[in-house]
Chain A
Amino acid sequence: METQAINTLTGVIDKKMTRQLKQYLDICARCAICKDACHQYVATGDFTYLPARRAELIRQIYKKYFTKAGEFVPALYEARDPDENLLDELYESTYACTGCRRCMYYCPFSIDTAWILSAAKAILIAAGKGNEMLGQLADAALMKSDNFEMFKDVIIDGFKDVEGKLKELTGDPSAEIPVDKEGADVLYVALAGAHSILPAAAIFHEAGTNWTLSMFESANYGYFFGDAEKARRIADRFMDEAKRLGVKEVVITECGHAYRVAQFFHEAWSGEKHPFKVRHILEVIDEYIKDGRITLRPGAITEPITYHDPCQVGRNGGIFEQPRDIVRAVATDFRDMTPNRAEQWCCGGGGGLVAIAEMEEFRLKSGAKKLEQIKATGARIIASPCENCRLQMEGLNDQLDLGITVKPVMDLVLDAMDLPR
């Protein structure tokens, strides 16, 4: 391999080197306890997807170029160059990973494979092998903010349409979807599409919240693509908006990775403390229910219903109970999956996989464990607060014609609210 190419790629590792990464690369015992933690490895039996193997590819470069022992005796560690072969396998295993971090949960040393793979993504991007679709989606999001004046009217027109529906739904002609409202308490950051705006708007309206809707969607393809700089700039779009409007809190819609980016990554990336709180919409709705700010018809849903913990909301986000409390408040037959909460199986749709067309077959195959869990509950409705999870589980449902409905949790709340419709 050419020295210059090697220097470029090892330079990327050097830049990504943190204490956590260094320790993860130094201490893995290759015990492979992680193999049964990964839904992709369990469903396919393919070595490429064994978590420790994914990390091992980075370790092979690290050993050769960052450790004396690996430099002198590369054979002992199978240390090697980041050549085409390695990069191709790295692409396969890295962009397939949903970042669910179930392997980290079971690892005796708590090695965060996803953290190692964030270095892998940086290497792939530097080698010109970043996933194209995710890269394009990230660039599109930034294009929107860089040329915002061009898009602004179209966006606001779209919100007006949703506002019309809100008036119908609530039967209140004064109901509105405030945009760009200075002095609002809450900045709600939705996804592209009315489905993530309308239920929240109705709930905020009912609760009498002084809120405003972000002009930007919370989805962050820069994060999935693996470019931390782009990911930060994508999140900056609504974080800057929140600062400008002076809101007290930023509420992220039912989305997994966006919540995690806003709550746990953005401050670290930008090096600044947020002058506002960040919460997930379900934390807010749960509070409204418990404070009596919205009233629901108990027993509005009688069909058996289950809840899927999205990895980025549950194990990686810490929100386990609020969504369950909400579901229990509206449904009579709630059935938890086994295992659940921190040990829940990833559905297979995370990490941006639902956006990558060529991944579809693999993605649905990797949902085998989730499918087993869903079937075991006998539920007819699955509630889940993550768009990627819902798309994946809908895919599983369609593939096998299970006749199950997959819904955002706030849709259930909407169904149980006394609205004229």
Chain B
Amino acid sequence: METYLFLTSVVGVYIGIGVFVVGMAWRIYQWSTTPKSPVKLGLFPKPATATGRGAKMLKDTFIAPHSARIEPVMWLFAFAFHVAALAAFVGHGRLVVEYTPLVQLLGSDGMRTFAAWSGGTAGIVMMVAVLYWIARRTYGPFKQLSVPEDYFLLFLLLGIIVMGNHMRFLGHVSAETYREWFQSLLVFRPVIPAEISGSNVGWSLGTHMLFVNVLFVYFPFSKLVHTIGAFSANLVRSE
């Protein structure tokens, strides 16, 4: 268990974050150094001012109102997934630093309850959305259009979410303990607390991290770069 955790939750994290940062920087560099076509590809109606275009770009990116109209069910799952993923991301911020003002507001018991409910909901919502996406890719034109990358990413996400949910719902390791592990990575003096390796979630943290690291390594080379590209592509729409 110690070796597994050392590989996935120490070494792997460094590799994952390293490749992710360099890969995304490379991707953005490539995009920004490819000359933009002077042909304006905007669709009408479009805002007349730069502020209006910026606002429309943000709305199109975060809300995607047009997609909502044409396939509401898909939109609902996609929207729910992205909101839940954002919530989960913010929640994981507690690994870096405790949200002290929130703890002061809710009390430490209140914070635990809040984290259990919000984290649990996000985990379930993401799991349901990913299962929906997998199911959607098993038939008709969706299946025909899918390539191995699509399934690979979905199963990777599913693995991450299921392992995360296992820790959330079945584990008894506190946020403080996880934070101790993660902060030790940040100061390059990695420690895996015995409370984790000795618990029922040692292997689920290891597997969670294994999948996360693979996702981070693959991210810059996958269609997931839409997380950044969607902004500029949606801006082109209003030009």
Contact = CB atoms under 8 A, between A and B. Distances in A.
Interface stretch (B114-122, B137-145, B159-167): B137-145
A367 to B, nearest CB: 20
A44 to B, nearest CB: 12
B35 interface: yes
Interface stretch (B8-16, B67-75, B97-105, B204-212): B67-75
A30 B146 contact: yes
B147 A32 contact: no
Q: Is the interface of B mostly helix, strand, loop or mixed?
A: helix
A78 B39 contact: no
Contacts of B172: none
Interface string B196-239: 00000000000000000000000001110110011011101100
Contact of A342 (B38, B45, B74, B223): B45
B87 to A, nearest CB: 20
Contacts of A109: 226, 229-230, 233-234
A268 B42 CA distance: 14
Contacts of B145: 30, 32, 47, 50, 52-53, 56
Nearest to B133: A31
Given A50-B141, A268-B38, A108 B149 contact: no
B24 to A, nearest CB: 12
A95 B75 CA distance: 30
Interface in A48-99: 50, 52-53, 56, 67-69, 75-78
Contacts of B41: 20, 112, 115
Nearest to A314: B44
B36 A104 contact: no
A88 B44 CA distance: 33
Contacts of B141: 32, 35, 41, 47, 50
Interface string A263-301: 011011101000000000000000000000000000000
Contacts of B149: 76-77
Contacts of B75: 33
Interface string A90-131: 000000000001001111111110010000000000000000
B36 A18 contact: yes
Interface stretch (A147-155, A315-323, A371-379, A397-405): A315-323
Contacts of A19: 31-32, 34-37, 232
A17 B149 CA distance: 23
Interface in A142-190: none
Nearest to A17: B34
Contacts of A112: 41, 236
Interface string A21-39: 1111011111111011100
B3 interface: no
Nearest to B142: A32
A264 B142 CA distance: 35
Contacts of A106: 66-67, 69-70
B180 interface: no
Given A32-B145, A76-B147, A76-B148, A23 B44 contact: no
B233 A24 contact: yes
A20 B43 contact: no
Nearest to B137: A30
A27 B226 contact: yes
A101 B232 CA distance: 18
Contacts of B30: 22
B43 A27 contact: no
A200 to B, nearest CB: 24
A38 B70 CA distance: 11
Given A18-B34, A22-B31, A110 B70 contact: no
B44 A342 contact: yes
B40 interface: yes
B46 interface: yes
B78 interface: yes
Interface in B52-76: 60-61, 64, 66-67, 69-71, 74-75
A102 B226 CA distance: 20
B152 interface: yes
Nearest to B63: A108
A316 B40 contact: no
A41 B144 CA distance: 14
Q: Select the residue from B152, B222, B233, B237 with max chain A CB neighbours within 10 A.
A: B233
A110 B233 contact: yes
Contacts of A41: 141
Contacts of B36: 18-20
A28 B237 contact: no
B237 A110 contact: yes
Given A77-B149, A108-B230, A268 B43 contact: no
Contacts of A18: 34-37
Contacts of B148: 75-78
Given A22-B30, A35-B141, A69-B221, A317 B234 contact: no
Interface of A: 17-24, 26-33, 35-37, 41, 47, 50, 52-53, 56, 67-69, 75-78, 101, 104-112, 115, 264-265, 267-269, 271, 314-318, 320, 341-342
26 contacts: A19-B35, A19-B37, A20-B41, A23-B31, A24-B233, A26-B226, A27-B229, A27-B230, A27-B233, A30-B145, A32-B141, A53-B144, A76-B148, A78-B147, A78-B148, A104-B237, A105-B43, A108-B64, A109-B226, A109-B233, A110-B236, A110-B237, A268-B39, A316-B44, A318-B46, A342-B43
Given A32-B145, A110-B60, 9 more contacts: A20-B41, A33-B71, A35-B141, A53-B145, A76-B148, A108-B230, A110-B237, A111-B233, A318-B45
Q: Which 9 A-B pairs have the closest CB atoms?
A: A318-B44, A110-B237, A69-B221, A18-B37, A27-B229, A27-B226, A268-B38, A108-B64, A19-B36
